[in-house]
Chain A
């Protein structure tokens, strides 16, 4: 068993990983990711996964239900961290898989993989709680800066976390972005991570405060101009796990079941076969306790997550 396999086994059990180990993992990941383009090429068959948000146990279910990284190729569309209780373990597990099986897993940056957002939405606090300092958070943020911005499957399916940008309408333009930086508050790199599809006639202001809303017209133009048939993205909670829009030209995939342990939604992954057929797999959240009543998910939450 290699060191990496041992770390993977520990992570799967949610065990503490020493700071030096995290440092090494992050450094190795950076070296690996550095050589990837902004838009990575991926071959079929491949399974596309949406937001994870630190729900480690549900991530394990995801692998279980979809074949596992030993057998299947995966694209993760970002938002590995924040909100859930195991952001660190979830992100590190994905990094370990990436290091162990570099050709079988592609990691794309989400809007939560930034210093600013993780400080507000829980990852920073989680690291400080688990390590007593923010070092590990800093190592992870360095890795965030090297994550790809998108992927393209068989030159036919464009994968991105959020959506489109009015500033860059071709994949070739996206390849020219200098991505190795904190996500800016505006511009193409920001939009790719923040934008949402909506029934709008043209580019519109996003209620999130970053990115844009785009409609069928923008999607059709993008598909046509880039010779692709589908945009696969995540970024938005879908109660049914996935949602196709614009005559099937765009799909949202959401992979965090019972989001924030509160929303009651199911999750989905999307498998693309060699003929580009789409097959969705739906899965539910793990129970809060195992069969003998031990807590899998901590129930004593520090957050006030209902209005009382």
Chain B
């Protein structure tokens, strides 16, 4: 199961690279990127893919094929997911001077790069399964554009589980189902007293109910103040809604992938109920995000990129993914 879940990182990477290649991302406006960073954003992601080829030929092949056949409805969804999360992070970083971000289940996500550049006082921790962060570590050190930006030595000299252990950026190997180990590593590489952004982007959906709740409880108890940003699918709770059950069976059949709580936390409210001890919890489905947080100028830009053949399909899909923000 661990390996099957790790493979989903390549889906996320494919989606993001596809959205970049057609021009959905970056969004200078919503990701608040100055022109030079927007340019670098593209270079970093391309650099990551090209370098990935050296370490995982099969993964590269899969990603490369997927990028070329990505439907507009998927590009829209990737765009919404990316700018939705980024806007939430940026809002929080903008009002807190000394701040840290912890990306739980980071995979190959590269959003630490623009953020480290934009916020000089930020420290950033990426955590994921050992196999995933090893690939990421190899790629970051091998790719010249990434290595140079992070000022990384080519050779890895830091002891596992800290594959990268810089003052401002750490890459840590950890099975997040192991709550004791996760707590221990967070104690080592983060500061409990400064405001903390916890990011979980398609992480909790692969965890069992008990493990995910333990993780949430542990983190909320550990940090004095923070913002948890979570993006996940929900199964749907309307009587005639079959999206979730079809999703379960499609994923099971095509790749033996399970989402143990998809139908347990099948509505926005149920999903967010796990953070009930936080002070302020908001949760929106991504269709709401599309309709309320994307200004007309951006919609116009998106329309000019590709014809969207089916708006209702976008609505069906996006109303089954949520963005949750819990502040404490």
Contact = CB atoms under 8 A, between A and B. Distances in A.
B312 A237 contact: yes
Contacts of B257: 308
A135 to B, nearest CB: 20
B250 A111 contact: no
A208 B299 contact: no
B33 to A, nearest CB: 22
Interface stretch (B36-44, B66-74, B171-179): B66-74
Nearest to B72: A120
Contacts of A120: 71-72, 306-307
Nearest to B81: A307
Contact of B65 (A112, A302, A307): A302
B308 A208 contact: yes
Contacts of B308: 207-209
A303 B11 contact: no
Contacts of B304: 209
A299 B303 contact: no
Given A120-B307, A302-B66, A306-B233, 5 more contacts: A111-B307, A263-B317, A301-B254, A303-B71, A304-B74
A307 B234 CA distance: 11
Looking at chain B, what size class is its interface with the partner chain? 35 or more
Contacts of A111: 307, 309
Contacts of B204: none
B91 interface: no
A154 interface: no
A276 to B, nearest CB: 28
B306 A304 contact: no
A262 B250 contact: yes
Contact of B311 (A236, A260, A261): A236
Nearest to B313: A237
B66 A260 contact: no
Interface in A256-272: 258-265
Contacts of A302: 65-66, 69
Q: Which DSSP category, helix, strand, loop or mixed, fits chain B's interface?
A: helix
Contacts of B312: 236-239
Contacts of A239: 240, 312, 316
B313 A263 contact: yes
B15 A125 contact: no
A301 to B, nearest CB: 6
B313 A208 contact: no
B246 A264 contact: yes
Interface string B106-143: 00000000000000000000000000000000000000
A213 B233 CA distance: 30
A203 interface: no
Interface in A207-228: 207-210
B258 to A, nearest CB: 12
Contacts of A117: 307, 309
A308 B11 CA distance: 6
A237 B310 contact: yes
Contact of A303 (B69, B77, B251, B311): B69
B280 interface: no
Interface in B1-40: 8, 11-12, 14-15
A111 B309 CA distance: 8
A300 interface: yes
A125 B69 contact: yes
B127 to A, nearest CB: 18
Contacts of A121: 71, 309
A268 to B, nearest CB: 14
B15 A261 contact: no
Contacts of B254: 299-301
28 contacts: A120-B307, A122-B71, A125-B69, A207-B308, A208-B308, A209-B304, A209-B307, A236-B310, A237-B310, A238-B312, A258-B242, A261-B246, A262-B246, A262-B250, A262-B317, A263-B243, A263-B313, A263-B316, A264-B241, A264-B246, A300-B254, A304-B66, A304-B74, A306-B11, A306-B251, A307-B78, A307-B81, A308-B8
Interface in B183-211: 202
Interface in A172-205: 196
B246 A208 contact: no
B114 to A, nearest CB: 21
Contacts of A207: 299, 303, 308, 311
Given A259-B313, A300-B254, A306 B247 contact: yes
Nearest to B236: A264
A305 interface: yes
Contacts of A4: none
Interface string A264-304: 11000000000000000000000010000000000111111
A162 to B, nearest CB: 11
Contacts of A305: 74, 250
Contacts of B14: 304
Contact of B15 (A82, A196, A259, A304): A304
Given A239-B316, A303-B71, A209 B11 contact: no
Nearest to A235: B310
